[in-house]
Chain A
Amino acid sequence: MEPPKIWRERRERYLGIGNKCLDCNEKSFPRTDYCLKCSSKNIEEYKLSKTGKILQFTQVTQPAQEHIFYSPFIIGLIELDDGIQVTGQIVDYNYDDVKEGMKVRMTFRILSIDNEEGLIKYGYKFVPY
């Protein structure tokens, strides 16, 4: 993981910050340089809702090498209270107990660790409540 990339994307990963178009009101996440709907560059930061519900989910048992320590884990498609859909891990819950429609809130977790001496990448995951 490159420090510049970790640094540049921290507000998205930590705070769920995307953007909102000041011309057409379209909200998007992750951040882009222009509006995905009307291509306007007249955009501002937008903070995602911190709570939502599970639309779909699945268990990952064969993850990429950087996530192997955390497997098996659950990944879900979440509809946030503001209507925006994001994907993220669902933690602190057994796969058998997770249900569609369950309420979740954002939590702050380790996403991956480079190696013994590398950077720790933190970001949001979701926890049912």
Chain B
Amino acid sequence: MSKLGIVSYGSYVPQYRINVEEIAKVWGEDPNEIKSQLQVNSKSVPGPDEDVTTMAVEAARNAMSRWKGNPKDIGALYVGSESRAYAVKPTATIVAAAIDAEGALQAADLEFACKAATAGMQMCFGLVKSKMISYGLSIGSDSSQGRPRDPLEYTAGAGSVAFLVGSENVVAELEGTYSVTTDTPDFWRREGAVYPSHGVRFTGEPAYFQHTVNASKGLMEELGTKPQDYKYVTFHQPNTKFPLRVARMLGFSKEQVEPSLVCRDIGNTYSASSLLGLSQLLNKAQLGDKIFMTSYGSGAGSDSFSFEVTDEIERVQAYQFNVDYYVNRKEIIDYGIYARFKGVLR
């Protein structure tokens, strides 16, 4: 019997890190206050020759290597990002070429702030379920800009993740998905603007928390499940505090969410954030474990998913280049090098 779900996944985080202390020193702010507010110690920074495209390719290639299938069997490829290298010229075209999946293929770049890649996954699930494609690859890749001295500068990190969806060799079966969308102006960037703007205090309650809670409750209601039914849960991680708090609001324990939190070391990876959390959980999960995930994208909306891990999971867990590999591979840089890498110095 064929199942619908996750077949493989891959991730990538650039190796450079800048510590909260180093940024706080430049602006004369108290690093301990910031660290206790955000519960973030450092963030990832792309090297001078890295961008959303290169990171998307690395994550996609890791998903392919972990899968060991034929890239030509992929029928749809979506890249979710809010910091693409080209304004016009789809990232998905370059990724397709770089994994040798060019040819008969549906592809597009998607934008829904930090939830574009979970929106892409839903599209892939729909296409696989309706048998229009055999496999779909949804990628989230971001290298976000935080305006210097903006609170976001401490957390705007970089990373990518790729999820292969299909109905053969499924490692985690999809039990259901549910979304909420509203017009909420918590965070935006106009065409041509370098840095995003945000509603400061407006970003928490009516935005992140309300959408995450409503989508999560909506899905559990639909499935008739409750937080205790799940082994693990993960959420979008703009900092470490928000996912911990929203877990508590929904009735999940700290133990259920904690193993997925990668934000402390690499910061907010935007469209890759909740899915890097899911990758961490899949690396730890066992047969029969239920996993719950809710993404959040500013603007605003949330996508919730419920998965059950299958006996295929062990096949993919041994893969060497996993989230932990990239999180642990790091070189700390100072603000000067950071400014150069980010293209602030020209």
Contact = CB atoms under 8 A, between A and B. Distances in A.
Nearest to A92: B15
A11 B98 CA distance: 8
Question: Which of A14, A15, A69, A108 gathers the greatest number of chain B CB atoms within 10 Å?
Answer: A108
Contact of B86 (A111, A120, A125): A120
Contacts of B98: 14-15, 108, 122
Contacts of B51: 110, 120
Contacts of B50: 109-110
A10 B102 CA distance: 11
A92 B53 CA distance: 17
B97 A11 contact: yes
Interface string A101-129: 00000011111000000001010010000
For chain A, give the interface size range.
Answer: 10 to 19
For chain B, give the interface size range.
Answer: 10 to 19
Contacts of B54: 107-110, 122
B97 A91 contact: no
A91 B53 contact: no
Contacts of B58: 107-108
Contacts, number: 42
Nearest to A69: B48
Contacts of A70: 48-49
Contacts of B61: 108
Interface in B86-131: 86, 94, 97-98, 100
Given A92-B15, A120-B86, A122-B54, A110 B49 contact: yes
B47 A10 contact: no
Contact of A120 (B47, B53, B331): B53
Interface in A1-55: 10-11, 14-15
Contacts of A122: 53-54, 57, 94, 98
Contacts of B133: none
B49 A109 contact: yes
A14 B65 CA distance: 16
B213 interface: no
A11 B57 CA distance: 14
Contacts of A110: 49-51, 54
11 contacts: A15-B98, A69-B48, A70-B49, A91-B49, A92-B329, A92-B331, A107-B58, A108-B98, A109-B49, A122-B94, A125-B49
Given A92-B331, A108-B58, 11 more contacts: A10-B97, A14-B98, A15-B100, A69-B48, A92-B15, A107-B58, A109-B50, A111-B49, A120-B86, A122-B57, A122-B94
Instruction: Sort A-B residue pairs by CB-CB distance and give the 8 closest, nearest first.
Output: A108-B57, A109-B49, A110-B49, A14-B98, A108-B54, A92-B15, A70-B48, A109-B54
